[in-house]
Chain A
């Protein structure tokens, strides 16, 4: 993320003031504050730097009601952070709402990742210091660098653009496709009434098959791995299992202290923990940074039901290509045995019991449902 000079973060350009719609509003209509008062401390008394957020919800209150296409909805996970709360509650057996200590901790450590209308359409998100992006112009399409990857930078952004030295950019990046080519406003704003508890539950979530018809063209690899015929039922693979390059995983994290250790290169195929949502039997898994004592800074020494949710999570790496270490068959590489017989080790492509052996017992327990059996995959029971 390039740093922005402090003055430029509050500089308003004529392009905004001459906007026939938004520029016709007075600043105070949205932001509050006191006209004619100097010094600036008096002028800014009561001023709200992000009126699109909080109780006033100015964008919705003035024009953009929570109905209709393209408008902000209360069901967007960008706004609700439902996934954060849901997983905390599953792992702790406790709720955040109603517990003042947890509410304060969430506000301090998690809420910076909450997005308002302005976080995408006017300014940089709060967690990178905020600041107007285009002189306060209301951008219908967010800025990929200063909005999207300001938050989704270390995994999604680096994977998509080839920022990791062990993997190249996505084929989509090389085709100059932006985030918005796949992720529509409907997906970002959320589907009214859906109330997803997880980002993969969003009904408007983009899917590979929205553009790519894997069933057409007679690709035998697709036929064998899509699980669409009786012989291969129960063996449907997420597209990324074959088409993703290696990606980044992390170790434990503690609120207020950050992630323990560096991120590391990984590629692990396992049983899909959200099979009920997308139908894939096997998917890629990414190790996420959560430990039993992650929330000790909130006064919670141990997550009582830590093992209730896997820590090797379903993931959809953004560095997909047609040819990868799994699909490149030149020179006789990657016959059946290269994948199905991949070694039972840290370097192997499947997540197995041996990959968990160095983890605490509670974390081993948490991942029993996503590891694959030992041995050659062609010998697994269905």
Chain B
């Protein structure tokens, strides 16, 4: 393989890797992905409690059944 071809392969590989990384970062971005908000982010109650995706990802299902099915 010539040096020119090797450079071409490396260039294509770099481009593909860049696209993959870009895709991952957009999944984690503010357009609807799930993200760890980190310690330095200021959040309001509404920002969390109106974010369906984040609540689905972070609210843990209850392990125990409700105490009652309505005894009255």
Contacts and interface: CB of A to CB of B under 8 A. Distances in A.
Interaction A to B: yes
Interface of A: 1, 5-7, 9-14, 17, 26-28, 31, 33, 35-36, 38-40, 43, 112-113, 127-129, 149-157
B62 A35 contact: no
Interface in B57-72: 58-62, 65-72
Given A7-B52, A10-B49, A36-B44, A151 B68 contact: yes
The listed residue with most A CB atoms (<10 A of its CB), out of B37, B49, B55, B67, is B49
Contact of B72 (A17, A27, A40, A153): A153
A152 B41 contact: no
B30 interface: no
9 contacts: A7-B55, A12-B46, A28-B45, A36-B42, A39-B37, A40-B48, A129-B66, A153-B71, A154-B71
Interface residues of B, number: 28
B interface SS class: loop
A interface SS class: helix
Contacts of B37: 38-39
A1 B66 contact: yes
B70 A157 contact: yes
A129 B49 CA distance: 18
Contacts of A7: 52, 55-56, 59
A38 B56 contact: no
A17 B52 contact: no
Contacts of B58: 40
A40 B59 CA distance: 10
A50 B62 CA distance: 18
Interface string B2-43: 000000000000000000000000000000000001110111
Given A11-B52, A149-B70, 12 more contacts: A1-B66, A7-B52, A7-B55, A11-B49, A36-B44, A38-B38, A39-B39, A40-B48, A113-B71, A127-B66, A129-B67, A151-B70
A36 B43 contact: yes
Contacts of A5: 61
Given A12-B49, A14-B50, A40-B48, A153 B59 contact: no
A288 B66 CA distance: 23
B69 to A, nearest CB: 6
The listed residue with most B CB atoms (<10 A of its CB), out of A7, A127, A128, A129, is A7
Contacts of A13: 50
A154 B72 contact: yes
Nearest to B39: A38
The listed residue with most A CB atoms (<10 A of its CB), out of B65, B70, B71, is B70
A35 B62 CA distance: 26
B46 A27 contact: yes
A151 B71 contact: yes
A35 B69 contact: no
Nearest to B64: A129
B55 A11 contact: yes
Contacts of A156: 72
Contacts of A127: 66-68
